[in-house]
Amino acid sequence: MQRGNQGVLLSASDLMRFAGCAHATTLDLGWLEGKGPAPEEDSADAALLQRHGDAHEARHLARLRAGGRSIVEIARDGVTLADAAAMTRSALQHGADVVFQGALAGPGWGGWSDFLERVERPASLGSWSYEVTDTKLKRRPHPRHVLQLALYSDLLAAVQGALPERAHVELGDGSRATIRLSDVAAYARRVRTRLEAFVADRPPTRPVPCADCPLCRWRTVCSTRLAEEDSLFRVANVTRGQVAKLEAAGVTTMTALAARTMPVRGMAAETLERLVAQARLQANRPGAGPAYALRPPKPGCGFDLLPAPDPGDVFYDIEGDPFFEGGLEYPRARPRQASFERACATSVLCIAEGLPAPRMLTRTTGTTTSCDRPGPLSGPPDPASTGQFPRRPERNHVLDGQPRRPSGTCKEDRMETSTLVLEHLMIRKLKRCFALRFPDVKPTHRTELAARGLGYRTYASLLAALRNGPVVIESIDAERAVDFARATGLEVDPGDVRLALIELLDVGANG
């Protein structure tokens, strides 16, 4: 985001930040105009991600060069966006195989793409044209990648006189994802229109914790304000919908919630009781160590999910390094590696002798995995693995053929199938995804949209199926959801339905 001759010049980074948190955009605008606080330096985690991202980009560039492609690199240091865009246009007109760091600019928007790759499809340039390729560390495409690729593709279309058919993402695992732009263009342009209107109108915003907070440059500004206001969002595991109901009932601070004794309209008594108990724990320990309280036992939940204690149980706490090749190396755990390997050897011997094997309850920390729901384990360890036993298959989630490693899985958990296994515990996450994607739709209509998108006739029939255990979702039926929306007088984009269900796979990590 920068000041241009025609007003604020927006970039793909601004667009993706706005898609995650409108308040971050408010703070960006205030800083740009000299009316607000300055952002802090990147955190160590953000800097680490940047270094790995740069290295991933350099490796892809080296592969292109090794393949004999003619590459034109556009300089960025000491060059204005307008000058870089002119150099990019010249390189495209001369038909280079690849333009690296190509600059693209249009009314109100601009930025530098990673790669513009030549394809033999006629355009105003000649018998060739170009498609956008971006490098990302993730192992599967993210909905926000679509926003960036669609923006650059629209800016590129103005240069070559034809909209590219596809855009590509070089993923962190070395695979390449291709996106057909006609499927996502309307959604991406609508988000851009929303950001342009936001910049023009400047509606009021406030800090709301989200998945972007840990790496956000405004994290300290927001956390300070939340603390000063004693915000309800400081209550652990509270949702936006719950905060809205509490505020409508006149409960606007964590202290007020801790003292609440009256019911709240639209909120289950059990939910309110849990939130009040959490607020009391947090409010009563300023500056002190962690406090806790045990909930009443409930069949099928909490400690009831643990197997019965056994002398052979092994509790192994390990740290994860997501940037090690494959993401399964645990460098901080090496002092205890020998004892762990001995335990694995003991298990193999027990099974070979027909004896009960020790069961392992593994909790991994760090940023890769977290086995947060231990359960009965069986079978010998995979000799090719790090020694962890296979977990229950219903913990694996795969959507549209893209394996997803949810919170609570390890290496052996990946299912090579084209299904999503939905559990009753994921219903709240499902509702949250649709609430974020369709904030103006009634909650009852949102749940019906979700059910139809998952292939069920009604939300009630989905719940009935889940009561009998996890259900397998073979495919997404976005059109069925759209038909329901039209019948109820709603305008819903099938792409939004599809994205809401895809985001279901990520929201567990977002809290």
In the chain, where the domains are located: 2-201, 229-283, 302-414, 421-510
In this prediction, residue 286 carries a pLDDT of 61
- What are the residues whose beta carbons fall under 8 Å from the beta carbon of 445, sequence distance 6 or more? 485, 488, 490
pLDDT beyond 70 at 466? yes
Position 226: which residue type?
L
Look at domain 229-283 and name its CATH class. Answer: mainly alpha
pTM above 0.85, yes or no: no
- Name the pLDDT band for 249 (thresholds 50, 70, 90): very high
Question: For residues 463-495, b (16+ Cβ closer than 10 Å) or e, as one string?
Answer: eebbeeebbebeebbbebbbebbeeeebebbbb
In this prediction, residue 325 carries a pLDDT of 60
Which fold does the domain 2-201 belong to in CATH? Lambda Exonuclease; Chain A (3.90.320)
Structure tokens at 361: 């309850």
Across the range 407-419, mean pLDDT stands at: 33
In this prediction, residue 27 carries a pLDDT of 92
> Is the distance from CB of 478 to CB of 431 less than 8 angstroms?
no
Same fold, 2-201 and 229-283: no
Phi, psi of 104 (to 5 degrees): -130, 135
CA–CA separation, 444 and 293 (whole Å): 34
Query: Which of these ranges, 28-42, 141-155, 410-424, 475-489, has the smallest mean pLDDT?
Result: 410-424
pLDDT beyond 70 at 344? no
In this prediction, residue 275 carries a pLDDT of 92
In this prediction, residue 365 carries a pLDDT of 37
- What are the residues whose beta carbons fall under 8 Å from the beta carbon of 128, sequence distance 6 or more? 95, 118, 119, 120, 121, 122
253 DSSP β-pair partners: none
Across the range 150-169, mean pLDDT stands at: 92
**3-class secondary-structure state, position 412:** helix
> Is the distance from CB of 10 to CB of 32 less than 8 angstroms?
no
Structure tokens at 332: 């901080």
Q: What is the pLDDT of residues 354-401, one digit of tens each?
A: 544 444 443 333 333 323 333 333 333 333 333 333 333 333 333 333
- Percent of the residues in the chain that have a pLDDT greater than 90, as a whole number: 23
In this prediction, residue 272 carries a pLDDT of 92
The 3 state secondary structure assigned to 99-111 is EECCEEEECCEEE
